[in-house]
Amino acid sequence: MSGIIRGEGEGKVVVRVRSAHPYTAELTAEQLRTLAEVARRYGSRVVHTTPRQAVEIPDVPEHLAEKAVAELEKTGLVAGASGRLTRNVFACSRWCLYNAIPVAEPAEELNRRYGDEEMPAKLTISLSGCSFSCSRSRTSDIGAIARTVIRVEREKCIKCGLCVNEPLGCQADALRVSKDEPVVWSRDKCVQCGFCSNICPVSSITAAERGFDIYIGGGGGFFPREAVLLKEFVAEDRVVEEVSRVVERYRELAEPGERLYSVIERVGVKEFE
């Protein structure tokens, strides 16, 4: 059964849990209560969160695992994200102030589409709400990173300093403001995170354009691989479809057990596309 992983100790398993709604990194109070109850009743009263935002309940006796999973399912939690299935879609918090484009909803939709689908091999999908890429979109099989191209209207600037001073100021050193001079933007330094457009109180900086860059073929592990850029500036309402197209193409081309990065190495990005 997917999501039931051999654990430490004789006859013990780890139950790996994800949620399709809300997606796993957001659990409702009811789901948290269920997790606590299952960990108390079947496990050793602890849970562990994985680096990809799934939750694991360790120390469950193997013969009770199915019962534990049935209890989890009552609040929309499912065992999964192991073996040749898609891993839980890894995504930024919708409450992060930096979000150029919030990614929780696309993550939820992708979890619904692919959470229980068999793949040729493990498949990781990560969505980042801005170019900081906290969700490690460049070391996942498929990554989407939101970008914002800003527009600067200097005449509106009130020289408040918010976009340049700590703690919220531009981290790429792409903006300058002084008491004598309104904001100056260095395009060449800008990493298009869009944060300044989220915080400017007078809309002197706004978002001119938003979209996602789609990366493929990244991976972690013993031999980390940096993903390659497949498509630039995909419209925000197209990101789920674009990621889905990559998933379907991977299924079409991969040999059993072959990770996406190996497919790319074998056929090349052009042919993959």
Q: Does 104 bind ligand SF4 (CB under 6 A)?
A: no
Q: Between residues 57 and 150, which has the closer beta carbon with respect to ligand SF4?
A: 150
Q: Does 99 bind ligand SF4 (CB under 6 A)?
A: yes
Give the interface size with ligand SF4 as a residue count (CB under 6 A): 37
Q: Does 192 bind ligand SF4 (CB under 6 A)?
A: yes
Q: Does 134 bind ligand SF4 (CB under 6 A)?
A: yes
Closest CA to 225 of 264, 252, 182: 264
Q: Does 158 bind ligand SF4 (CB under 6 A)?
A: yes
Q: Which residue has the tokens 């709400």?
A: 129
Contact 239, 144 (CB under 8 A): yes
Q: Distance between CA atoms of 252 and 273, rounded to whole angstroms?
A: 12
Q: Does 90 bind ligand SF4 (CB under 6 A)?
A: no
Q: Distance between CA atoms of 86 and 95, rounded to whole angstroms?
A: 25
Q: Distance between CA atoms of 40 and 195, rounded to whole angstroms?
A: 42
Q: Between residues 79 and 183, which has the closer beta carbon with respect to ligand SF4?
A: 183
Neighbours of 121 (CB within 10 A): 18
Q: Does 184 bind ligand SF4 (CB under 6 A)?
A: no
Q: By CB under 6 A, name the one of 60, 85, 119, 183 that touches ligand SF4.
A: 183
Nearest distance, CB of residue 145 and ligand SF4, angstroms = 8
Stretch touching ligand SF4 by CB under 6 A, among 26-34, 35-43, 62-70, 202-210: 202-210
- Terminal Cα-to-Cα distance of the chain (whole angstroms): 33
Q: By CB under 6 A, name the one of 38, 39, 125, 150 that touches ligand SF4.
A: 150
Tokens of 155: 């005449």
